[in-house]
Amino acid sequence: MHVATLCGSLHSGSTNAVVLATITDRLGAGGAAIEAVDVSVDVPALRPEQMEEPPAAVRAVRAVFERADGVVFAVPEYAGGLPGWVKNITDWMVSSASLYERPAAVVSAATAGGAHAIAQLARTLTWQGAYVVATHSIAAPLTMVRDGTITDPDAAAGLDRVADVLAAVMRGDVDPADAAAEALAPLGIDPHDRLS
């Protein structure tokens, strides 16, 4: 199994990076190869006329997603929503279908839990034809991280569940459409409202 990851926080002490590492450690222990999207390279603002011949940074991100059997996004919540640069990256994926039919997990560590960021990203991924098979929200994350480790047992268990669901879908043990229906129902997102 090959898993692509994207950490939506550029903060040096990001709790979302810790959350993502927790998930990828479990996936890696199960034999998955992990490849992170390089967020040190600025992806330019979407220009629709360049969708078919995008800049090199966009091609690099597309390639990471296209090599993956599954994707994990860990995103903060800024001003009640998804960080703009993360949405910009996903917008660049539309014409290439780089996320199409890939199982994805979306998690957020944010002061109030990041529910809006999760819902926004889950919707845009679903509309691109991805299967959002697991989500998890962690509120007040700074109280749950010590020395780069999640110390809250409930939060850690939730992240393990995300990793396990994604792995089960990638192995073919769980139907992605069934997992997506279960994950998206609490968000009010129709899993069939997707590209075909």
Longest dimension (CA), the chain: 48
What is the residue whose two structure tokens read 């939506």?
8
Question: What mean pLDDT is predicted for residues 36-54?
Answer: 92
Burial class (CB in 10 A: 0-12, 13-18, 19+), 46: middle
| Residue 25 resides in a domain | yes
Inside any domain, residue 132: yes
Residue 58 lies in a domain: yes
Residue 129, pLDDT > 60, answer yes
Closest of 10, 66, 13, 15 to residue 38, by C-alpha:
10
Residue 129 sits in a domain whose CATH number is: 3.40.50.360
CB 187 within 8 A of CB 122: yes
pLDDT of 193 > 80? The answer is no
Query: For position 111, what pLDDT does the model report?
Result: 86
Q: Is residue 57 part of a domain?
A: yes
Q: Judge whether residue 194 has pLDDT over 80.
A: no
pLDDT level of residue 144 (50, 70, 90 thresholds): confident
Would residue 63 count as lying in a domain? Answer: yes
Tokens 């960080």, residue?
Answer: 83
Is 89's pLDDT higher than 60? yes
Average pLDDT over residues 141-163: 90
Question: Does the pLDDT of residue 96 top 60, yes or no?
Answer: yes
Query: Is residue 49 in some structural domain?
Result: yes
Domain that holds residue 63: 2-187
User: Is pLDDT above 80 for 54?
Assistant: yes
Structural domain includes residue 194: no
Mean pLDDT over each residue of the chain, to the nearest integer:
93
Q: How many independent structural domains does the chain possess? A: 1
DSSP string, 4-56: EEEE----TT-HHHHHHHHHHHHHHHTT-EEEE--TTSPPPPP-GGGSSS--H
Whether 183 is covered by a domain: the verdict is yes
